[in-house]
Structure 1
């Protein structure tokens, strides 16, 4: 059989210039915006690195000032002793010149006071600098979420563009010649020639569609997976003729429209199937393409009668980079938990030293890890208050400094006694709603970015060993549970003190002064996770619950959180490496609450350890180490991209940050 040269005419409809241009413009615009945001993120990272380095420099200067404070304090005491000695001698010998001793003492007092002021100024500078750092970090988190969201938008736009490119319509003109068989009539030869010409037109139409795909290099190797088809809109014979040699030639004009199995588009682009879930069932792994040789007038699956052999489809295996692994044994201990230590005294202008380090004057509230501390409160002319205390929970030290009777230096004015009235609160004994705890078994796991898709702070992967089992609340702490704490203690959260709570608006975190745990900016019920709480608010709740239950509750550290969230798996999510649709509450995850609000706790299936909502819903505070200034939240949230709800994703925030997408759950001590 001889095939005549093919005359191909692609209509304007086949090219679908306007649709293609619009789809490509959308993809290009998203790619451009993502590149801009990535460049902005890189700039913020550089700025943050500089700020962190500057903070380290300020801390080093503060340490020098504190070291100098000890020397100046020593000099001041020596000068005072010398001057007091001269005062005593002056009683017996009025001719003694004490001016030099007075000048020395005056200078030592002035130097010591100046150093204290420098320490206070340095602490203020560090505090201000930390606020700048935290603002940069919040901006970085916003950019990370924006970039992740743009990545999802880009995937959606690519799928839509590919779908439109497959469903183009166009007209082909094809000339085809066959040899009539001796046994067939002229009518049968004519019909066969037209059928074969039509079949070749559909094959060429499909070839042309694939050749004109924007992402042809990605899709072509998976052509057998596409399920590409052709719908014949219309066809007519332009011209036909029989030759004296028994050949029949036909010239056909065929108008066709492409069609494709939409659920397979994600497989062609190597994207998460959730971007195609609205089109139907995703393509199954190991799909075997078939090429039927029959067709109808309305729909044709392309076939090439020259290539009669079926092609086999090899299995596709994605190789993931092997992460760097370090071995480290984690010994579980509550030593990293911090509590508030409050120090008061009966004088003003004193100086507090904790383990020999100056922390300023009373009244002073400082957060310290559990442990023993040497406390000293000094004031010139008074006996120093010294005590060694064992800090196991939040406590207050009321120091009473006694005036030195032996000093005959100029007296220090008496301080006005300041008494703070304590409001009497009625003890509320609430009917506690039980947040069931589940036992997390001891074990070993790989912590961090196991797939190579994570953020820089998820690497390197480290092997962690949890030598003991522990108990964790199966659900996030709810609004009802937190309300019981508020009613019982009269506690006031940071958001309720006037500063409000952050929320996302147009992709940026905005502070809303009226938002708090009871009014987070969306409709909530008692079984919603509590939000708009700071790290310290969460710790305060844990301390209260510990007292109510008679057993210690605390925030989980990062290792405990990730180990429990993984629940024996090594994938991005408890169910696999794709987020799917409707399996969790995160931005663009397909749930009823996505990008609207948190969902009621326990709305989705638990992981293998019986924990709910470790993916999405609200970010969860974790316990910070003593050396950390910031605190890490884990798990993603209802308005953050799915790629940020992976089990290893971690975001660092200031302890006093609060937002209507951050909550917590607790660990119960053994």
Structure 2
């Protein structure tokens, strides 16, 4: 029999998860309420607009009636000259009433226009509130995923003490000491298996994790063990009661896959426990992996043990307990090894076992190992090395020639708190030809917002040109200097920036000073929809070709670039592949980045994911307009290719810019 383990645990992780889930529920309810309010306002706007159309139609009829009454009265006045006794009172009354009715209808039109304007102002405010709530919700979802991963990690790394009873039959050919040692080793093996079983059984998300148990890389480290009681029977049996203190561990790089969240939430963890050896009792393995925990008496007859999850040289030595008649031996020599590579978001394998991403530091027993570093789109780096002393291995990965550009930063970017380096060399804003074609537009994967559904097949019969980058500060400055144009931010109440979950207006913010340091190569921000249109009109006259904002179909088709995934490179945002909130770039949650800092999509378009939201062309049926592509301070889930936020045309913020299309 084996007693249940007594775990040292804390409920704080679950409290944190529950608090985030509660906040998510509150914000979701708020968003649902605002969605209902917006729907009612939009319905009311439609009703008011219909009434206005009726008033305008009636105005034409009343104007016609007024003119006819005037003509009739004038005719009677002419006849009155010849017949002074003629009664013209009815004609006068008719004309007077038509004038009054016409004036009243004009006043009603004025009042209706004011009501619609006021209503649209409310709609604009509701839309701004909605888009901030959407970002808050997505940010909370990120926090929830982080908290769930942390809770799972802590649940796997619990400590506990377990007592086990085990009885074996001594073999005729073995001594009593050998039988005793084998029995204790079998009891230890049973305890470690039971311990890891209980780790899984006590996981908060056990139902989700258990089916993926073989992927977890779960391990047990024996901290301490001692024999509570033991005895030999007259029938040649040996019974032992063993108390074992243990600590669990797990491959941190695999936690995300266990609970089905984006792998970026596991990127900040260190490497898994592997080969950390200390003093221990008896001829027992210090660290057992879940895959090693198969219990059989035959397996226990071997004195060769495996430490950690790396197969060490056969000469690895262990310390024997005082109960053994064999002399004590030395523990293996652990060697610190550091691995680096020239790419981000890679994965290191040592003897086929994943150890996470570089930069990686790990202590392993001296010996010979197969080192491999992998990254999608690159040829794997492979090397067999003999480790005798501390060393650093620098892996250089080369992009496959046939790779279709999984976006990676153009250069190494620091994750330190220092201000990002501004690079002067950026791609020229060239016109990229987007080919004609058919695609499915909207939420193809199922993670989108309500306004991304239903999915609709769209056909673009003709090719068109699109600017490869967002319009930069330098490009916009030429427009201002040539036209003396004043943006809405410069004429009005400034520009909005995101603070504590909502846009806040700053009168001093404009495209020249958006609240963060920028260079000429940064995307221009703090421009309204009308500002972007004014730039397009100027550029059209300047170059003699027709430029305009892209419509939503053109924008999404170009951004997808033939893919059906959430992002140009797949369904996970990854790390440092784009400039969005919590995306791991040097600019994330700090500012926009220079255009073209990340690899382009298949059509050669830069920054269709993140950096700044981009205005799209207003449809006749829309009261507002949409922005697409996500931004440096918005959640990664909002940088998906199908995400659309609806805003008023006069809104401007330091996270909204634009790019143009050139008509054929």
TM-score range, shorter chain: 0.7 to 0.9
- CA positional deviation for 1:155: 0.6
Q: Is the 8 A contact 1:473 1:611 kept in 2?
A: yes
In structure 1, what is the equivalent of residue 169 of structure 2? Answer: 179
Deviation readout 1:46-92 (Å, 9 max, x if unpaired): 11121111112111211111111011111121222233334444556
Is residue 2:615 matched to residue 1:627?
no
In structure 2, what is the equivalent of residue 225 of structure 1? Answer: 215
Deviation readout 1:195-227 (Å, 9 max, x if unpaired): 111111111111111111111111111111110
Alignment CA distance shift 1:199-1:665 (3 Å):
same
Equivalent position to 1:495, from 477, 481, 489: 489
In structure 2, what is the equivalent of residue 558 of structure 1? Answer: 552
Equivalent position to 1:38, from 28, 32, 48: 28
Paired with 1:86 and 1:308, the residues of 2 have a C-alpha distance of 125
Is residue 2:434 matched to residue 1:440?
yes
Is residue 2:178 matched to residue 1:188?
yes
Paired with 1:127 and 1:650, the residues of 2 have a C-alpha distance of 24
1:295-310 matches, within 5 Å, as 297-302=285-290, 303-306=293-296
Equivalent position to 1:459, from 412, 436, 453: 453
In structure 2, what is the equivalent of residue 476 of structure 1? Answer: 470
- CA positional deviation for 1:488: 0.9
Q: Is the 8 A contact 1:457 1:650 kept in 2?
A: yes
Is residue 2:6 matched to residue 1:6?
no
1:245-324 matches, within 5 Å, as 245-279=235-269, 297-302=285-290, 303-306=293-296
- CA positional deviation for 1:45: 1.5
Alignment CA distance shift 1:123-1:651 (3 Å):
same
Alignment CA distance shift 1:295-1:464 (3 Å):
farther
Paired with 2:562 and 2:283, the residues of 1 have a C-alpha distance of 51
In structure 2, what is the equivalent of residue 571 of structure 1? Answer: 565
In structure 2, what is the equivalent of residue 239 of structure 1? Answer: 229
Paired with 1:227 and 1:233, the residues of 2 have a C-alpha distance of 19
TM-score normalised by structure 1 residue count: 0.76
Paired with 1:266 and 1:595, the residues of 2 have a C-alpha distance of 23
Q: Is the 8 A contact 2:524 2:657 kept in 1?
A: yes
In structure 2, what is the equivalent of residue 200 of structure 1? Answer: 190
In structure 2, what is the equivalent of residue 288 of structure 1? Answer: none
Alignment CA distance shift 1:563-1:298 (3 Å):
same
Q: Is the 8 A contact 1:198 1:252 kept in 2?
A: yes
Is residue 2:612 matched to residue 1:612?
no
In structure 2, what is the equivalent of residue 402 of structure 1? Answer: none
* SS across alignment from 2:37: helix
Structure 1 unmatched runs, 5+? 283-293, 310-432
In structure 1, what is the equivalent of residue 576 of structure 2? Answer: 582
1:88-107 matches, within 5 Å, as 88-90=78-80, 98-107=88-97
Equivalent position to 1:209, from 196, 199, 216: 199
Is residue 2:540 matched to residue 1:513?
no
Q: Is the 8 A contact 1:295 1:301 kept in 2?
A: no
Paired with 2:552 and 2:97, the residues of 1 have a C-alpha distance of 51
In structure 1, what is the equivalent of residue 479 of structure 2? Answer: 485
Paired with 1:281 and 1:602, the residues of 2 have a C-alpha distance of 32
Paired with 1:600 and 1:100, the residues of 2 have a C-alpha distance of 77
Alignment CA distance shift 1:489-1:74 (3 Å):
same
TM-score normalised by structure 2 residue count: 0.76
* SS across alignment from 1:249: strand
Paired with 1:487 and 1:91, the residues of 2 have a C-alpha distance of 69
Deviation readout 1:297-324 (Å, 9 max, x if unpaired): 4322241224999xxxxxxxxxxxxxxx
Paired with 1:230 and 1:239, the residues of 2 have a C-alpha distance of 23
In structure 1, what is the equivalent of residue 113 of structure 2? Answer: 123
In structure 2, what is the equivalent of residue 654 of structure 1? Answer: 648
Q: Is the 8 A contact 1:233 1:256 kept in 2?
A: yes
In structure 2, what is the equivalent of residue 138 of structure 1? Answer: 128
Paired with 2:235 and 2:431, the residues of 1 have a C-alpha distance of 89
Paired with 2:87 and 2:195, the residues of 1 have a C-alpha distance of 113
In structure 2, what is the equivalent of residue 405 of structure 1? Answer: none
Q: Is the 8 A contact 1:171 1:255 kept in 2?
A: yes
Deviation readout 1:230-270 (Å, 9 max, x if unpaired): 11111122222222221112222111111110000011101
1:363-442 matches, within 5 Å, as 435-442=429-436
Equivalent position to 2:143, from 133, 150, 153: 153
Alignment CA distance shift 1:434-1:117 (3 Å):
farther
Paired with 1:138 and 1:295, the residues of 2 have a C-alpha distance of 67
* SS across alignment from 1:253: strand
Count of equivalent residues: 526
In structure 2, what is the equivalent of residue 76 of structure 1? Answer: 66
Paired with 2:522 and 2:283, the residues of 1 have a C-alpha distance of 56
Q: Is the 8 A contact 2:2 2:162 kept in 1?
A: no
Moved more, 80-89 or 104-113: 80-89
Paired with 1:627 and 1:192, the residues of 2 have a C-alpha distance of 81
Paired with 1:69 and 1:213, the residues of 2 have a C-alpha distance of 72
Deviation readout 1:18-66 (Å, 9 max, x if unpaired): x2x1000000001111111111111111111211111121112111111
- CA positional deviation for 1:106: 3.1
In structure 1, what is the equivalent of residue 597 of structure 2? Answer: 603
Alignment CA distance shift 1:524-1:191 (3 Å):
same
In structure 1, what is the equivalent of residue 159 of structure 2? Answer: 169
Q: Is the 8 A contact 1:442 1:466 kept in 2?
A: yes
* SS across alignment from 2:537: helix
- CA positional deviation for 1:625: 1.5
Paired with 1:271 and 1:62, the residues of 2 have a C-alpha distance of 51
In structure 1, what is the equivalent of residue 12 of structure 2? Answer: 22
* SS across alignment from 2:651: coil
